[in-house]
Amino acid sequence: MPTRSSSDLIVVGAGVVGAACAHYAARRGLDVTVVDRGPVAGGTTGAGEGNLLVSDKEPGPELRLALLSGRLWRELSDVLPARVEYEAKGGLVVASGETGLTALRAFAHRQARAGVTAEEVAGERLHDLEPHLAPGLAGGYHYPQDAQVQPALAAAHLLRAAGTRVRLRLGEEVVGVLTRADGTVRGVRTPAGELHAPHVVNAAGTWGGAFARVAGVALPVQPRRGFVLVTEPLPRVVRRKVYAADYVADVASGSAALQTSPVVEGTPAGPVLIGASRERVGFDRTLSTEVLRRLAQGAARLFAVLARVRVLRTYAGFRPYLPDHLPAVGADPRAPGLLHACGHEGAGIGLAPATGAVIAALVAGDEPPLDAADMHAFRPERFHDTP
């Protein structure tokens, strides 16, 4: 019988991935304790734009995880309150010239064979989808499966919808992982005391590598910084998520250097969100005027109307990056009872429900909703496999 200090599962991290793990575990009848040194959505989730994308993913395990998550997000949209701002608004990827459009076409054809709906849009028809888009673009692809959600609200309501089976321990940092003599995990230690459970999930996001070390294993999660500009509230001048074709290459790149590509999207509340930048500079939050300048200029190239709009604020966040661009999802054989659900980089909000469903199935002793090959691709110990 679970007590105030015991449960069936401890989730370390109250971002959207941790919230999804707790949500789906509770739906299976498990009692869950969620521990976080800060508030709900206090890390990467709170700095996210809320993208639920298939448009930027090559065919393979991550895309299949995204397609599953897309279906689960649609189901969750009927369960969670409307104020989580779920919008199945679609995405639009545009190319400035014929070379870029040819590359987009090849990419979309590969995706279509993997189950993605991608519709080519001729240059002269782009304004049917986005009336304020800059003229002269060669064309693009419309992705109706892309969607958006308000990430911090989504995390909070995933936890709330789980009911009394989920207990929150906020403002408590996990300082140790409890193990038995044989190395099996049996809980965690915080400054407030010990919490016991036969399963512990590392959903610590960008700090997933640090928590893994606390648990006695290695996981090479690194922070990848990005900035977002937030404009004043506007009429719906941007209807979808709109981005330039080179964004896909930036997502797939492993470079530590600064990369920027214009990504623009409207929100139900009115502000327009402008990104995207990527660079590995540790946890440095120093405001970069060069990055902000590049983002503003890129957005104005796509939507000239934005050149006359005020930016009300900017903020930085850190994506949890793993070297092969795939998350670590699953049980860790190096520490029985430890599972990982981190390293999703910039896709964690979109991939959260499927990740949570996989973790919940594994803890319950059931088959996960992914095939064995995909689970093998996400295995946490893969970076330390011997040849």
Q: What is the pLDDT of residue 2?
A: 56
CA gap 23, 155 in Å, rounded: 10
Yes or no: say if 315 and 274 are a contact pair by the CB < 8 Å rule: no
Tell me if the bond preceding 276 is cis, omega within 30° of 0: yes
For residue 353 the two structure tokens come to 């429900």
Q: Could you tell me the domains of the chain?
A: 9-50+152-220+325-384 (3.50.50.60), 90-145+222-321 (3.30.9.10)
Report pLDDT digits (tens) over 221-269. Answer: 999 999 999 999 999 999 999 999 877 765 656 677 788 888 999 988 8
The answer to whether the predicted template modeling score (pTM) of the entire model surpasses 0.85 is: yes
- Closest by Cα among 195, 199, 203, 198 to 176: 195
The answer on pLDDT for 386 being more than 50 is no
Q: How far apart are the first and last CA of the chain?
A: 44
Q: What is the pLDDT of residue 246?
A: 78
Report pLDDT digits (tens) over 154-204. Answer: 999 999 999 999 999 999 999 999 999 999 999 999 999 999 999 999 999
- Closest by Cα among 223, 220, 224 to 324: 220
Yes or no: say if 39 and 62 are a contact pair by the CB < 8 Å rule: no
Report pLDDT digits (tens) over 73-115. Answer: 999 999 898 889 999 999 999 999 999 999 999 999 999 999 9
The burial of 59, by beta-carbon neighbours within 10 Å (0-12 exposed, 13-18 middle, 19 or more buried), is given as middle
Yes or no: say if 381 and 46 are a contact pair by the CB < 8 Å rule: no
Yes or no: say if 24 and 159 are a contact pair by the CB < 8 Å rule: no
Element (H, E) at 386: none
Confidence of residue 385 (pLDDT cuts 50, 70, 90): low
Q: What is the pLDDT of residue 82?
A: 83
